[in-house]
């Protein structure tokens, strides 16, 4: 298989695992651009090993069941609600941060909920035990990425925005999948990637470049109103004999690609 066929968005797409990730904003304690929560994945992980990413993971069968309990009206709505639920569940599991709720849990409540989640593996019993209700409308759809690589694992990942406000919380890393948690502005994360302090894969870099445009959560929400979430499928194009990995020019991203050789794809 040649590179053009591998990255041709018009060709047949391979099966993809549904996944979801949460871009969590908080006010910077020192002022300035908002900070985003990132997790550094263990090097042993098959996908994006060693990379800094936003918290999230695959959509589980129980997430679909909970979506149906929350009134999923058809298959598309079910997929959407299940992805939002998965992003909330994975964030709680990976970071100890409880978001996407109508309640504002205390640190002790969040840690108790995380311990319960790690024990039972699904979110529904945790919500019942904590007397919490989901605020699924509080998550803002930002983007949806579904690469077409046919020789590596493919995820159909929905990105959502959430606002923590002050961010006055403690976090607890899930050491089975991740090694480090940190807050950084989008611009800071890009500088860390450029200096080699962190590794970012192609979708994360493009999303960080887009997120660096915003000086507040409200600015990000306003931007999404102009550029609603859409499917992003990277494609390859030859430029002066050099293959580039690119994304559409009209999806709200300020940078549309890079030389394929430099693009970390997980």
9-52: pLDDT as tens digits: 565 667 889 999 999 999 887 888 999 999 986 654 455 557 89
Predicted model pTM: 0.89
CA angle 150, 229, 137 (to 5 degrees): 120
Q: In the prediction, which pLDDT does 89 show?
A: 97
Q: In the prediction, which pLDDT does 259 show?
A: 92
Kindly state the helix (H) or strand (E) to which residue 53 belongs, with its residue range.
strand 52-53
More reliable by pLDDT, 231 or 166 = 231
What count of other Cβ atoms lies within 10 Å of the Cβ of residue 9?
17
58 Cβ partners below 8 Å, 6+ apart? 17, 18, 19, 86, 155
**Given the structure tokens 């580039």, which residue do they identify?**
244
d(CA 7, CA 247): 11
**Given the structure tokens 């002790």, which residue do they identify?**
108
Asked if residue 2 has pLDDT above 50, the reply is no
Contact call for residues 170 and 96 (beta carbons, < 8 A): yes
Q: Domain residue spans in the chain?
A: 15-232
Q: Which fold has domain 15-232?
A: Nucleoside Triphosphate Pyrophosphohydrolase (3.90.79)
**Range 234-263 average pLDDT:** 92
């Amino acid at each position: 298989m040649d590179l053009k066929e591998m990255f041709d968005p018009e060709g047949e797409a391979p099966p993809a695992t549904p996944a979801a990730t949460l871009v969590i904003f908080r006010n910077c304690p020192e002022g300035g651009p908002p900070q985003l929560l990132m997790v550094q994945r263990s090097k042993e992980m098959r996908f994006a090993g060693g990379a800094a990413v936003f918290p999230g993971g695959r959509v589980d069968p129980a997430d679909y069941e909970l979506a149906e309990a929350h009134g999923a009206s058809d298959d598309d709505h079910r997929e959407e609600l299940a992805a939002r639920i998965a992003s909330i569940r994975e964030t709680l599991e990976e970071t100890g941060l409880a978001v996407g709720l109508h309640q504002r849990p205390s640190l002790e409540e969040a840690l108790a909920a995380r311990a319960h989640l790690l024990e039972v593996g699904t979110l529904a019993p945790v919500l019942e035990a904590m007397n919490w209700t989901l605020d699924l409308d509080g998550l803002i759809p930002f983007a949806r990425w579904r690469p077409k690589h046919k020789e590596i694992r493919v995820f159909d990942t929905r990105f959502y925005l959430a606002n923590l406000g002050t961010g006055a919380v403690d976090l607890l890393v899930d050491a089975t999948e991740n090694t480090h948690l940190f807050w950084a502005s989008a611009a800071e994360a890009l500088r860390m990637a450029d200096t080699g302090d962190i590794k970012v894969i192609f979708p994360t870099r493009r999303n960080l470049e887009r997120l660096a445009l915003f000086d507040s959560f409200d600015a990000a929400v306003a931007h999404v109103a102009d550029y609603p979430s859409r499917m992003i499928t990277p494609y390859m194009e030859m430029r002066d004999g050099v293959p580039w990995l690119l994304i559409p020019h009209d999806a709200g991203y300020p940078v549309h690609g890079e030389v394929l050789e430099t693009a970390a794809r997980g």
